[in-house]
Structure 1
Amino acid sequence: MAYGTGGCVKKSTKKVNKGQTEKKAPGKNSIHHEDLALKTAAQYFGEELMPLLGIKGVAGYIAPTETVMLEARQMYQDFNYVMTDAAWIHLEFESDAVTKEDLERFREYEAAVSRANHVEVITYVICSAKIRHPRSVLRTGINLYRVKTVQLKGKNADRLFRRLKEKAEQGEELTKADLVPLLLTPLMSGSLRIEERIIKSLSIIQKAGKVLTELELNKMQAVLYTLADKFLTETELGRVKEMIAMTKLGEMLVGDGIRKGIEKGIVETCRELGVSFEDTTEKIKQRFCISETDAREIVRKYWL
C-alpha cells in the first residue's frame, strides 16, 4: 500500500529492471527544491492536488516512474498516476524554463511507457518559474508533440487565504482538499511576501486538528519547509524554524543539525591529529553504522 491520492491506495506491483541511470539535460541541476517539494505533494496529496492543477479524471494508484529501454538506460519520470480509465497521467516538475531537450525527454518517456504498458499517456508540466509562456510544443519533421503546461504563478495566494478565512469565520471545518493548495502558495503570485505566505500556511495547517493524520501533517510541513529553504534568507528561514520548533519536523531538524555537528567535529579533530582520510572514513562509518560510500561523502565534505 502507498499514500498517493489523498489516502492509502494500491501501489503498482510491476517490477522495473535496473540499469544505468539517465543523466539530466545539460545546464539543469540534478535536484531542485521546488521539484522535491512538488513530488512529495503529488505522492501524498494527489487526489486534492490534481484538480488544483487542472488535471481531469480520478487517479486509481501510483504508477512506476522508472522505464528501462533496450540499451539498458534507466529513465526516471517525476511522477506517474494510473487513472481509473486505465490511462496514465505523467507529471514533470520544472523550476526552470522548459527547453527543447526537456520536451524531447518527455516525448521519449511517453513513447517508452506507452509501448511497455500498452496505455495512453498525457504529460503535464508543472512550471514554477516566472515564465509567461512556457514551451509546450515540439515539432520534428511531420510530427507534432505537445504537453500540457500548468503555471503556478498564474494562481493567487491572496484569494486562497481569503477563501479559507471566510470559510472558518462561517464556522465550517476546513477539509484536506482546502489545505493542500497551501503547499503551493510559495510558488503562486500574491501581495504577501513568500515568508509571510509560508508562515501563514503553516499556521493554518497546524490548526487543522484531526482533519489531517500525523503523517499528512508532517509531510505538509516538510513541503513548506523545503520551499522556505529554497527561497528565504537565513533570517527569514529562522522565523519559519521558530514556528515548527515544537513539531515532529522541528525535532527532526534539530536532530539532523546535532548529527551534522558531530560529523564535522570528528572529521576536523581527526585531520588536526594527523589521522589519514581512510582512517577517518572508517571512524565515521563505525560511528554512524553507514556504508563506506556514505562515510566518504561525509569526510570529503569537511576535509578542508
Structure 2
Amino acid sequence: MEENHRQGQPPGNYHLEDMVMKTAAQYFGTELLQYLGIQQQVHYIAPTELVQLEARQMYQDFNYELEDRSWLHLEFESDPIRLDDLKRFREYEAATSRKYQVSVITYVVCTADAKKIRSEFTEGLNTYRVKVIRLKDADADQIFAALLKKVSASEILKKEDLLPMLLSPLMGGTMRSKDRIKQALGILNESVIKVEEEELKKMQAVLYALADKLLDEMELQDIKEVIAMTRLGQMLMEDGMEKGIEKGMEKGIDLAKKIFRLHEQGETAETIAKQCNTSEENVRKILDK
C-alpha cells in the first residue's frame, strides 16, 4: 500500500515496527508464498525502500529474490486496483530493476470485493501488467470453525494446521478482517498450540503485518492492544525498554562529560547547572563521583 501506518509515528517506534515487518517478510517468504500459488523458492529477502533523486522514498510491501535470481515484488491492496496503483507499481519495478539490475514481477494480493480486478493498462507502445492473487474463494469462516472445534476438543494444533489461518484476512467469509486477526491471535495463545516459541512469534508478526496493510488506523490500534498481550508484544516491549535505557545512559554520559569540562574551565556549580539545564544538586553529585 502507498500509505504506511508507520508514517507519522515517533521515530523511536520505527525499530519495533521494522522488526515485526522483517519477521513477517521472512515468514511470508519461507512458509506462505506457496499458499498464494507461487512455486519458486525464495533465495533471500530483498530491499523494499528506494530513494529517488528528488529525495522521495518509495515504500514497497515485500520484495524477494527467487531461486532464478529474479525479484518478486508483493503488494497488498484492500481496495480495487486503480490506474494510479498500476502506475505506482510500474514505477517501483522500473526503479528496482534499474538499481539492482534484476527482472521484477509484481504480485498484488487484492482483498477487495469487486468481481473484476484491473491488472493491466496500455500507455504508448507498452502494456504493463501485474499478477493478481485473490483468496476470496476460500472461506475463512470454515477455517476458524474447524480450528475452534479442535481447540474445544483439546486436539493438538501444529504449524500445518495454522498456516491457512494466517492468510484468513485475505479470504472470503462473513467475519471482518479485524475480527479474523483478533481471533487468530487468540487461537495462537491456546494451550493446544504445539509450535516452537520462535515460530509462534513469526506467526504473530505475520498477523500484525496483515493488520498494518489491511486495516484503518483505529482498527490497527485495537490489534496493537491485542498484540501487546502476546509473546511477540512482550518481546517488543522489552526491546523498547532496552533501547530507552541505552539512550538514557548515552544522554547521562554526555551530560557528565559536559559538566566535567565546564568544571575544569573554572565554572561554578550554579553556572554549570544553568548551561546544562539541570539542577545544582545533580552537578554536585556527578562531580563528587
Structure 1 residue 211 displacement after superposition: 3.6
CA distance in structure 2 between the partners assigned to 1:132 and 1:157 by the alignment: 18
Structure 1 residue 61 displacement after superposition: 0.4
Matching residue of 1:89: 72
Are the aligned partners of 1:67 and 1:113 in contact in 2 as well (CA < 8 Å)?
yes
Find the partner of 2:97 among 108, 114, 137: 114
Matching residue of 1:273: none
Are the aligned partners of 2:29 and 2:45 in contact in 1 as well (CA < 8 Å)?
no
CA distance in structure 2 between the partners assigned to 1:244 and 1:71 by the alignment: 38
Select the structure of larger CA radius of gyration. Answer: 2
Q: Deviations over 1:175-216 (max 9, x none)?
A: 1x5423323323422244556533432232123233441632
CA distance in structure 1 between the partners assigned to 2:41 and 2:76 by the alignment: 20
Distance 1:112 1:246, change over 3 A: closer
Structure 1 residue 122 displacement after superposition: 0.7
Kindly indicate whether structure 1 or structure 2 has the higher relative contact order, using CA contacts under 8 Å at least 6 residues apart.
2
Q: In the alignment, does 2:41 pair up with 1:58?
A: yes
Q: Deviations over 1:234-269 (max 9, x none)?
A: 9xx59x95796475527978xx9xxxxxxxxxxxxx
Q: Deviations over 1:5-33 (max 9, x none)?
A: xxxxxxxxxxxxxxxxxxx9xxx645499
Distance 1:74 1:251, change over 3 A: closer
User: Which secondary structure state, in structure 1, belongs to the residue aligned with residue 136 of structure 2?
Assistant: helix
CA distance in structure 1 between the partners assigned to 2:59 and 2:75 by the alignment: 10
* Correspondences of 1:237-252 after superposition (within 5 Å): 237=222, 245=229, 247=231, 249=233
Are the aligned partners of 1:40 and 1:223 in contact in 2 as well (CA < 8 Å)?
no
Distance 1:245 1:51, change over 3 A: same
Structure 1 residue 97 displacement after superposition: 2.6
Are the aligned partners of 2:120 and 2:127 in contact in 1 as well (CA < 8 Å)?
yes
Matching residue of 1:179: 162
Matching residue of 1:189: 172
Are the aligned partners of 1:41 and 1:49 in contact in 2 as well (CA < 8 Å)?
no
User: Which secondary structure state, in structure 2, belongs to the residue aligned with residue 85 of structure 1?
Assistant: coil
**What is the aligned-residue identity percentage?**
42
CA distance in structure 1 between the partners assigned to 2:220 and 2:104 by the alignment: 40
CA distance in structure 2 between the partners assigned to 1:180 and 1:115 by the alignment: 35
CA distance in structure 1 between the partners assigned to 2:22 and 2:131 by the alignment: 17
CA distance in structure 2 between the partners assigned to 1:132 and 1:148 by the alignment: 16
CA distance in structure 2 between the partners assigned to 1:76 and 1:243 by the alignment: 24
Structure 1 residue 85 displacement after superposition: 1.1
CA distance in structure 2 between the partners assigned to 1:203 and 1:92 by the alignment: 26
The answer to which of 135-144 and 203-212 deviates more is: 203-212
CA distance in structure 2 between the partners assigned to 1:158 and 1:56 by the alignment: 26
Matching residue of 1:216: 202
What TM-score, normalized by structure 1, do the two folds share? Answer: 0.57
Matching residue of 1:44: 27
The answer to which of 76-85 and 45-54 deviates more is: 45-54
Q: In the alignment, does 2:122 pair up with 1:126?
A: no
Matching residue of 1:103: 86
Distance 1:31 1:171, change over 3 A: closer
Structure 2, gaps ≥5 residues long? 8-17, 241-276, 279-289
